[in-house]
């Protein structure tokens, strides 16, 4: 074959691993030209690379075994939410795959022009290059077979990993490049050449030294053929359905960033402030405690049409610095954080030491008022005052988790970790890199084996697992008056649209709020 059709498609996305603070950083490959090596250097390189392929294959098999634990539960139609530890582990598996696949890519590209070297070394060079190609291809297909078009993995693996210099949407690029690899007929051309070499290898001392690569070639060829014949069409069909899904999302959520930003700013009224007054904001501040969950709604906002349910927004109440400091003067909280960091005096000091940028933003204030709330808005995860958040709403409710003060402090700490991250315009719980308002609540209070938390009931909308703020109100209503109830009622300001006022309402009025239509048809033109 005059030109081996191995993997020219990879020339646009070539990466290699180098040492960094994450022990990995990814840059463009500088592929060695083996035709420039003398005979001795080339023979040594071929021998070394052949054994390196065996080492990589062993490592990949171990990664497969590790990955199966996480992939298996997701081979189902219904999306599943990943825990924080699962998200971290799957990202680490993804990085390990990249480490080894990119090592194979480097080997493969170095040997793709094997025909330019001396005839006596071409056959052994072909075996090394083809082994690397088949191992890469079968591993890539295996990874896609277990992860492609499964929403939790699609979203998570497309997130950037700054500490490893991995860009956003790398998984999508990887997926398409694997799916666009040469068809099985092209693979067969090289495999037929391999079979001819194998037949005469017993009488060729040069080839017999590389017989240990035969099982690598044959096993990965068989795996590749099996996946292509049984999975390729289903993967392509799934991609078609994935495209349709993305279209349906736009009918449910204000998905696209430009549209969502426009909707966030658009009101069908010339009022700038909400109907909730400054006096009501002061009352809210007096009654609220750090860790409380806030629900908000502004009438006549275009996002009310785009986000499911009556309640479109949620936030986490922190209190100002004085209130948070006094509230957290608790021996259990102080002991916990002093154990985490013996240099810390208390919870406040821990936040200041470990999240200095977030803490500075928290102290900066808002609209001449102290910051007391953290929330996800178009600008991302930011701090606001009560007047700058609740005071811009027409409806507002405050709910108190039935958790220990330590659990609430740890939720607040988690929220500080997320400060500064972007806003999630896909409204999906599956991403850590960007968050919508209710995702901040969900992940701040996400329970783990060592952390108390809240178990929220999520929704699946257009194949996206999400937690609309309205779900929090609906769950409160369902659990109200029962022992398993997770939230207590603090207050509710309900908007009287016709009178243009927000009034204090009781828990029974709030319990029915989530059932209200998400759009008020009363026209207001003051």
Q: Which residue range is the domain that position 48 belongs to?
A: 8-252
Residue 475 DSSP SS3: helix
Nearest to 470 by CA among 325, 347, 293, 331: 293
Domain final position from 214, 234, 252: 252
* Confidence (pLDDT) at 76: 53
* Confidence (pLDDT) at 497: 72
Which is higher by pLDDT, 267 or 458? 458
- Regarding whether 235 and 335 lie in a shared domain, the answer is no
- Regarding whether 247 and 393 lie in a shared domain, the answer is no
* Confidence (pLDDT) at 339: 96
What is the full DSSP assignment across 75-144?
Answer: -SSS--PPPHHHHHHHHHHHHHHHHHHHHHHHHHHHHTTGGGS-HHHHHHHHHHHHHHHHHHHHHHHHHH
Distances in whole angstroms, Cα of residue 493 to Cα of each of 274, 391, 518: 11, 11, 17
18 located within any domain = yes
Half-sphere exposure of 316 (CA within 13 A, CB side): 32
What would the two tokens of residue 181 be?
A: 């690899």
Which is higher by pLDDT, 500 or 316? 316
- Regarding whether 276 and 245 lie in a shared domain, the answer is no
525 located within any domain = no
What mean pLDDT, rounded, does the chain reach?
Answer: 78
- Regarding whether 339 and 224 lie in a shared domain, the answer is no
Residue 466: what are its φ and ψ, rounded to 5°?
A: -145, 165
526 located within any domain = no
521 located within any domain = no
**472: CATH:** 3.90.1720.10
- Regarding whether 341 and 272 lie in a shared domain, the answer is yes
Distances in whole angstroms, Cα of residue 504 to Cα of each of 276, 279, 281, 300, 450: 10, 12, 12, 21, 38
* Confidence (pLDDT) at 182: 52
Distance linking the first and last C-alpha atoms of the chain: 79
In the predicted model, is pLDDT for residue 373 greater than 90?
yes
Q: What is the C-alpha separation between 378 and 292, in angstroms, rounded?
A: 22
pLDDT digits (tens, 9 = 90+) for 231-284: 544 555 455 345 434 444 443 443 344 444 433 444 434 444 678 999 999 999
- Give the number of domains in the chain: 2
425 located within any domain = yes
* Confidence (pLDDT) at 55: 86
Return all residues near 418 (Cβ < 8 A) that are at least 6 apart: 381, 435, 440, 443, 444
- Regarding whether 211 and 360 lie in a shared domain, the answer is no
Domain final position from 214, 233, 252: 252
Return all residues near 478 (Cβ < 8 A) that are at least 6 apart: none
* Confidence (pLDDT) at 516: 78
Q: What is the C-alpha separation between 184 and 226, in angstroms, rounded?
A: 10
In the predicted model, is pLDDT for residue 48 greater than 60?
yes
- Regarding whether 299 and 161 lie in a shared domain, the answer is no
- Regarding whether 458 and 433 lie in a shared domain, the answer is yes
- Regarding whether 296 and 245 lie in a shared domain, the answer is no
pLDDT digits (tens, 9 = 90+) for 125-166: 999 999 998 998 889 888 887 787 677 788 888 888 776 667
Nearest to 370 by CA among 438, 322, 433: 322
Q: What is the C-alpha separation between 424 and 434, in angstroms, rounded?
A: 5
In the predicted model, is pLDDT for residue 1 greater than 50?
no
Half-sphere exposure of 148 (CA within 13 A, CB side): 27
- Max mean pLDDT among 201-210, 245-254, 317-326, 413-422 falls in 317-326
263 located within any domain = yes
- Regarding whether 371 and 264 lie in a shared domain, the answer is yes
Which is higher by pLDDT, 54 or 434? 54
- Regarding whether 270 and 139 lie in a shared domain, the answer is no
* Greatest Cα-to-Cα distance within the chain, rounded to the nearest angstrom: 97
- Regarding whether 304 and 224 lie in a shared domain, the answer is no
522 located within any domain = no
1 located within any domain = no
Domain final position from 223, 252, 281: 252
């Amino acid at each position: 074959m005059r030109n081996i059709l191995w993997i020219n498609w990879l020339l646009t996305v070539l990466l290699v691993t180098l040492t960094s603070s994450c022990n990995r950083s990814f840059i463009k490959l500088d592929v060695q030209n083996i035709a420039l090596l003398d005979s001795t250097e080339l023979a040594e390189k071929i021998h070394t690379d052949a054994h390196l392929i065996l080492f990589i294959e062993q490592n990949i098999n171990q990664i497969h075994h590790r990955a199966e634990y996480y992939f298996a539960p997701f081979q189902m139609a219904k999306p599943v939410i990943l825990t924080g530890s699962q998200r971290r582990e799957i990202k680490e598996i993804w990085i390990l795959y990249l480490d080894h696949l990119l090592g194979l890519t480097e080997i493969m590209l170095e040997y793709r022009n094997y025909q330019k070297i001396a005839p006596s070394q071409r056959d052994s060079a072909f075996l090394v290059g083809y082994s690397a190609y088949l191992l890469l291809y079968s591993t890539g297909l295996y990874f896609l077979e277990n992860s492609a078009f499964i929403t939790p993995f699609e979203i998570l693996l497309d997130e950037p990993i700054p500490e490893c210099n991995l860009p956003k949407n790398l998984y999508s690029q990887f997926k398409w490049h694997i799916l666009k690899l040469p068809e099985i007929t092209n693979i067969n051309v090289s495999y037929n050449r391999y079979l001819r070499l194998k037949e005469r290898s017993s009488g060729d001392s040069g080839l017999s030294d590389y017989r240990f690569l035969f099982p690598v070639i044959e096993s990965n060829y068989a795996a590749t053929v099996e996946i292509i014949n049984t999975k390729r069409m289903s993967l392509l069909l799934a991609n078609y359905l994935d495209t349709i899904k993305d279209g349906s999302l736009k009918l449910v959520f204000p998905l696209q960033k430009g549209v969502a930003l426009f909707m966030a700013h658009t009101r069908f009224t010339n009022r700038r402030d909400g109907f909730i007054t400054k006096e009501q904001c002061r009352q809210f501040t007096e009654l609220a405690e750090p860790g409380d969950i806030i629900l908000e709604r502004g009438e006549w906002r275009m996002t009310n049409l785009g986000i499911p349910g009556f309640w479109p927004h949620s936030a986490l109440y922190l209190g100002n610095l004085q209130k948070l400091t006094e509230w957290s003067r608790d021996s259990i909280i102080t002991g916990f954080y002093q154990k985490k960091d013996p240099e810390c005096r208390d919870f406040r000091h821990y936040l200041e030491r470990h999240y200095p940028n977030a803490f500075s933003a928290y102290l900066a204030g808002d609209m001449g008022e102290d910051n007391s709330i953290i929330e996800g808005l178009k600008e991302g995860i930011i701090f606001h005052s009560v007047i700058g958040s609740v005071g811009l709403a027409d409806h507002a409710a405050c709910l108190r988790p039935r958790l220990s003060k330590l659990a609430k402090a740890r939720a607040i700490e988690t929220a500080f970790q997320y400060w500064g991250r972007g806003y999630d315009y896909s409204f999906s719980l599956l991403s850590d890199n960007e968050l919508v308002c209710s995702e901040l609540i969900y992940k701040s209070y996400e329970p783990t084996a060592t952390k108390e938390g809240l178990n929220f009931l999520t929704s699946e909308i257009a194949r996206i697992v999400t937690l609309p703020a309205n779900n929090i109100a609906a769950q409160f209503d369902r659990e109200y008056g029962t022992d398993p109830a997770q939230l207590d009622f603090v207050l509710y300001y309900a908007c009287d649209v016709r009178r243009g006022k927000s009034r204090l309402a009781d828990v029974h009025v709030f319990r029915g709020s989530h059932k209200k239509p998400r759009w008020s048809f009363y026209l207001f033109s003051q």
